[in-house]
């Protein structure tokens, strides 16, 4: 692996989606970026262009994968040296496995997708307008559904439930790359990233309601060879 002593972990919430613009609960509904979201991703690509990305992780949802692709392809210098390649689960019986190749073209930037990085599941709320739901059941209840740690929306996941899949995935799949000195890009969602940031920043449950993530804004952690965070920057 890479011999750098300190790696960069770049977290980015996907650019604005069509349902973000409509103020709707998206959850696991596979919504694409809109024009604003694509512009945000292109701007993010310029903000992180100084970092040579070695490996990427993203969710299974289109808005996160689109953001990943734009971040890696809108910097021509990077793509002239490495080619981003989405990797598929060879153990999935539904995957045909035809993406194998032997010929060397140029060095890859592997992109691994996982449902463990998907947005929290909003259950019965998916598709509803957030403001209209607040009028129907009350602002405080909707705030609890959206921002508390342990409260589940009807039929959905709490942030605690989300953390139960995102943090083990981070520790098992992502952290080893960082310890080896690789720069890692993670493109995911407001809540899947909130749960990871809670872990990285050692936040208490009481601090969760105030943790907000804007779309398309990279957060860069510096990680040493022991996997410890030594610096954090928000590239606004």
Q: What pLDDT is attached to residue 76?
A: 58
Q: What pLDDT is attached to residue 96?
A: 72
16 is in an annotated binding site: yes
- pTM of this prediction? 0.93
103 is in an annotated binding site: no
Q: What pLDDT is attached to residue 186?
A: 98
| 150 exposure class (CB count in 10 Å sphere: 0-12, 13-18, 19+) | exposed
What length is written for the chain?
Answer: 236
Question: How many C-beta atoms lie closer than 10 Å to residue 176's C-beta?
Answer: 12
Q: Which of 40, 119, 157, 189 is catalytic?
A: 119
Q: What pLDDT is attached to residue 231?
A: 97
Residues near 16 by Cβ (< 8 Å), separated by ≥ 6? 33, 34, 36, 37, 40, 215, 216
Q: What pLDDT is attached to residue 100?
A: 76
19 is in an annotated binding site: yes
Residue 87 belongs to what H/E stretch? strand 82-87
Q: What pLDDT is attached to residue 91?
A: 65
Phi, psi of 13 (to 5 degrees): -75, 135
For 107-117, how does the pLDDT look when each residue is reduced to its tens digit (9 = 90+)?
A: 889 999 999 99
For 53-105, how does the pLDDT look when each residue is reduced to its tens digit (9 = 90+)?
A: 999 999 999 999 999 999 999 865 655 678 899 988 766 667 677 777 766 66
CA–CA distances in Å: residue 90 to residues 60, 62, 71, 93: 15, 20, 25, 8
150 is in an annotated binding site: no
Q: What pLDDT is attached to residue 12?
A: 98
Domain 7-234 in CATH 3.40.50.1240? yes
pLDDT in tens, the chain (236 residues): 444 568 999 999 999 999 999 999 999 999 999 999 999 999 999 999 999 999 999 999 999 999 999 999 986 565 567 889 998 876 666 767 777 776 666 688 999 999 999 999 999 999 999 999 999 999 999 999 999 999 999 999 999 999 999 999 999 999 999 999 999 999 999 999 999 999 999 999 888 888 899 999 999 999 999 999 999 999 99
Q: What residue spans define the domains of the chain?
A: 7-234
Q: Which of 14, 40, 157, 189 is catalytic?
A: 14
Q: What pLDDT is attached to residue 1?
A: 46
The C-alpha angle with vertex 63 and arms to 109 and 80, in degrees rounded to 5, equals: 25
123 is in an annotated binding site: no
Q: What pLDDT is attached to residue 3?
A: 47
Q: Is 119 a catalytic residue?
A: yes
120 is in an annotated binding site: yes
């Amino acid at each position: 692996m890479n011999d750098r002593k300190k790696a960069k972990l770049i977290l980015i919430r996907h650019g604005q989606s069509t349902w973000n613009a409509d103020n709707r609960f998206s959850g696991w509904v596979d919504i694409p970026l809109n024009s604003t979201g694509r512009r945000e991703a292109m701007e993010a690509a310029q903000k992180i262009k100084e970092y040579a990305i070695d490996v990427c992780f993203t969710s299974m949802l289109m808005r996160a994968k689109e953001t990943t692709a734009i971040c890696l392809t809108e910097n021509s210098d990077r793509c002239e040296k490495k080619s981003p390649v989405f990797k598929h689960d060879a153990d999935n019986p539904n995957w045909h496995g035809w993406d194998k190749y032997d010929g060397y073209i140029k060095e890859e930037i592997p992109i691994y997708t996982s449902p463990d990085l998907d947005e929290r599941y909003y259950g019965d709320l998916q598709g509803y307008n957030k403001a209209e739901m607040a009028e129907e059941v009350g602002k405080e209840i909707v705030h609890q559904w959206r921002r508390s740690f342990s409260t589940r929306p009807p039929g959905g996941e709490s942030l605690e439930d989300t953390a139960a899949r995102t943090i083990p995935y981070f520790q098992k799949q992502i952290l080893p790359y960082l310890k080896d000195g690789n720069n890692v890009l993670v493109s995911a969602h407001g809540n899947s990233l909130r749960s990871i940031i809670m872990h990285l920043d050692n936040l208490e449950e009481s601090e969760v309601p105030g943790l907000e993530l804007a779309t398309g804004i990279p957060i860069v952690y510096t990680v040493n060879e022991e996997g410890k965070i030594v610096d954090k920057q928000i590239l606004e």
